[in-house]
């Protein structure tokens, strides 16, 4: 394992020196790599392999304390600090309030931790001249990533998994690289190395829990795969290598055709010429290739494909991502920026707002606030008029607030049957003005994305599936402001 590891690092250093924007690095002056070390078996083994095989001044260690496991998080930091002191390796450490960052930005704990650590790594690289960050992702992580990509929908590039050298996420400077020197080793190989070499590490008890998607795949799905094929991880990693080559072939094919199918206007809009697109044998993947960079999800792309394949009227339809809107015309598709900010006087007539987190918003002249709060045992669930609450784990961020559309429906709180919103309006004795001002709360994830089942009517009713129950941990509260 050590021989292969050393060769891998030397190969990576050559690539880093070639790609790095820093003129200080050259092929005869090895790049100084920053190691991301959590204290777990993977990253501590990576640190140990570096210490055994390279000068201790040729790398440094960075540790993030995310403050998610109390004393256990502090013990992880203490272990890494002690190791760097004993091995005379430069040490960087930072402490994050990860839960607060997640709540403020309306993202999951996983995504919050990812953004926080990579932004910090990037700043360290700028401040200390490190051209690359090494993380301890292994072959098992790579196989798990493939499964996650398949579930969320990521095209052929998602089938390629992770690469050994890539651009650093959230980089604040060009040329910064992320390297994965353990990607060719399985978790069992790494654990075997740690045991044989008496590498000290700490076990994160949350790894055995299945709260997060990756852990669920690791703990519940892969054991089944390994019963079918004991070499499942190695087999999947080998296949991903073939997928990566296939993705390169597909990329070349798309790159050759797209200029004749898509053009950019001076005002920044992008036009896709439908007559040319539909003449192509593989038009569906070409459409995916052109629209995926603008953030359109798989369910939305499937709806666009269905529309183009049907005999329905094409013109006048619209589809949205978090950042862009796709408009349909008789002979073309138009992609334009659709980013909408929280409330400001200029946006009072907007009919569609993505809600990415807590804050003040306005849809079609209706102003409201969004709060994300923890459920407490003594919390009073009955809300004043104009306020609704939802279980935050049953409505995915970002969700959308928009005006009513014909066909919208929900299962009102406490009921079992489906009810059209138009019928709800009739029960409420709404006139034209009240209907036009009504705001729908729409969950854009999974099966609810395209079926016009709304999560609620702002200030009026919520769907029964989104109700706050005894197991609710966090609450989304939406309150209309006069």
Estimate the crossing angle of helix 109-128 against helix 98-105, to 10 degrees. 110
The DSSP string of 238-293 is: HHHHHHHHHHHHHHHHHHHHHHHHEEE-TTS-EEEEHHHHTTSTTHHHHHHHHHGG
Token pair listed for 60:
């440094």
d(CA 181, CA 177): 13
* Nearest by Cα to 365 from 350, 385, 352, 355: 350
Residue 429: other Cβ atoms inside 10 A: 7
Contact of 186 with 236, CB cutoff 8 Å: no
d(CA 147, CA 167): 22
d(CA 455, CA 453): 7
Residue found by looking up tokens 């190695």 in the block: 234
Which residues are within 8 A (CB) of 202 and not within 5 positions of it... i.e. 6 or more apart? 39, 40, 72, 75, 76, 79
* Nearest by Cα to 83 from 117, 56, 54: 56
- Fold for the domain defined by 2-238: Rossmann fold (3.40.50)
d(CA 346, CA 356): 19
d(CA 6, CA 17): 16
> What pLDDT does residue 450 have?
56
Residue found by looking up tokens 């002191």 in the block: 85
> What pLDDT does residue 92 have?
97
d(CA 371, CA 350): 21
Report the largest interatomic distance among the alpha carbons of the chain, rounded to a whole angstrom: 80
Compute the C-alpha angle 60/64/70, nearest 5°: 140
Contact of 353 with 361, CB cutoff 8 Å: yes
* Nearest by Cα to 43 from 97, 79, 85, 1: 79
Compute the C-alpha angle 122/127/131, nearest 5°: 55
Contact of 299 with 450, CB cutoff 8 Å: yes
Which residues face 315 on adjacent strands? none
Contact of 378 with 456, CB cutoff 8 Å: no
> What pLDDT does residue 17 have?
61
In this structure, what DSSP letter does residue 296 have? -
pLDDT digits (tens, 9 = 90+) for 418-475: 999 999 999 999 887 788 889 999 887 655 555 678 999 999 999 999 999 888 999 9
Per-residue pLDDT of the chain (482 residues; tens, 9 = 90+): 767 777 777 776 666 665 554 434 444 556 689 999 999 999 999 999 999 888 899 899 999 999 998 899 999 999 999 999 999 999 999 999 999 998 888 888 888 999 999 999 999 999 999 999 999 999 999 999 999 888 877 778 788 888 888 899 999 888 899 999 999 999 999 999 999 999 999 987 777 677 678 888 988 999 999 999 999 999 999 999 898 899 889 999 999 999 999 998 776 789 999 999 999 999 999 999 999 888 888 888 888 999 899 877 677 777 888 788 888 888 889 888 765 444 344 344 456 778 888 888 888 778 899 999 998 888 888 888 899 999 998 887 788 888 888 888 999 998 888 999 999 999 999 887 788 889 999 887 655 555 678 999 999 999 999 999 888 999 999 999 86
Contact of 469 with 383, CB cutoff 8 Å: no
> What pLDDT does residue 158 have?
81
Token pair listed for 380:
């009073």
d(CA 95, CA 116): 10
Residue found by looking up tokens 């190691």 in the block: 35
* Nearest by Cα to 135 from 162, 159, 161, 155: 162
Return the percent helix, strand and coil in the chain, to nearest 5: 45, 20, 35
Q: Where in the chain is the domain with CATH 3.40.50.620?
A: 2-238
Contact of 333 with 271, CB cutoff 8 Å: yes
């Amino acid at each position: 394992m050590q021989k292969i590891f050393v060769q891998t690092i030397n190969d990576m250093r050559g690539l880093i020196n070639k790609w790095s924007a820093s003129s200080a690095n050259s092929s005869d002056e090895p790049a100084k790599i920053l190691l991301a070390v959590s204290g777990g078996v993977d990253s501590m083994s990576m640190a140990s392999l570096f210490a055994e095989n390279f000068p201790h001044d040729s790398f440094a260690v960075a540790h993030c304390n995310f403050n998610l496991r109390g004393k256990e998080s502090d013990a992880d930091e203490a272990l890494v600090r002690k190791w760097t002191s004993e091995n005379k390796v430069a040490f960087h450490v930072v402490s994050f309030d990860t839960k607060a960052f997640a709540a403020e930005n309306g993202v999951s704990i996983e995504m919050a931790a990812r953004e926080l650590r990579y932004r910090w790594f990037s700043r360290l690289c700028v401040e200390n001249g490190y051209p690359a960050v090494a993380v301890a992702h292994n072959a098992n992580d790579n196989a798990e990533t493939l499964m996650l990509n398949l579930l969320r929908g990521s095209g052929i590039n998602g089938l390629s998994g992770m690469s050994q050298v890539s651009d650093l996420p959230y980089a604040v400077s060009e040329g910064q690289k992320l390297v994965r020197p353990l990607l060719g080793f399985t978790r069992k190989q790494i654990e075997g190395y740690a045991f044989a070499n008496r590498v000290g590490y700490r076990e994160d008890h949350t790894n055995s829990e299945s709260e997060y998607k990756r852990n669920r795949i690791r703990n519940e799905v892969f054991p089944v795969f390994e019963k079918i094929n004991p070499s499942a991880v190695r087999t999947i990693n080998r296949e991903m290598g073939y997928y990566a080559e296939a993705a390169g072939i597909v990329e070349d094919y798309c790159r050759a055709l797209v200029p004749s199918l898509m053009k950019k206007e001076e005002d920044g809009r992008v036009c896709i010429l439908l007559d040319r697109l539909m003449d192509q044998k593989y038009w569906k993947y070409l459409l995916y290739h052109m629209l995926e960079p603008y953030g359109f999800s798989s369910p939305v792309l499937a709806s666009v494909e269905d529309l183009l394949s049907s005999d329905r009227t094409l013109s006048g339809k619209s589809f949205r991502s978090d950042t862009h809107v796709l408009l349909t015309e008789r002979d073309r598709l138009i992609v334009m920026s659709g980013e909408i900010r929280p409330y400001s006087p200029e946006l009072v007539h907007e009919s569609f707002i993505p809600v990415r987190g807590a804050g003040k918003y306005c849809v079609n002249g209706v102003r409201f606030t969004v709060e994300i709060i923890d459920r407490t045992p003594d919390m009073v669930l009955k809300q004043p008029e104009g306020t609704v609450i939802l279980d935050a784990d049953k409505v995915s961020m970002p969700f959308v607030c928009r005006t009513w559309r014909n066909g919208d429906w929900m299962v009102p709180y406490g009921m079992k049957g489906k009810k059209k919103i138009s019928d709800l309006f009739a029960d409420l004795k709404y006139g034209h003005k009240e209907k036009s001002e009504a705001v729908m709360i729409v969950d854009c994830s999974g099966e609810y994305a395209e079926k016009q089942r709304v999560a609620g009517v702002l200030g009026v009713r919520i769907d029964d599936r989104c109700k706050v129950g005894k197991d609710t941990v966090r609450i989304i509260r939406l309150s209309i402001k006069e």
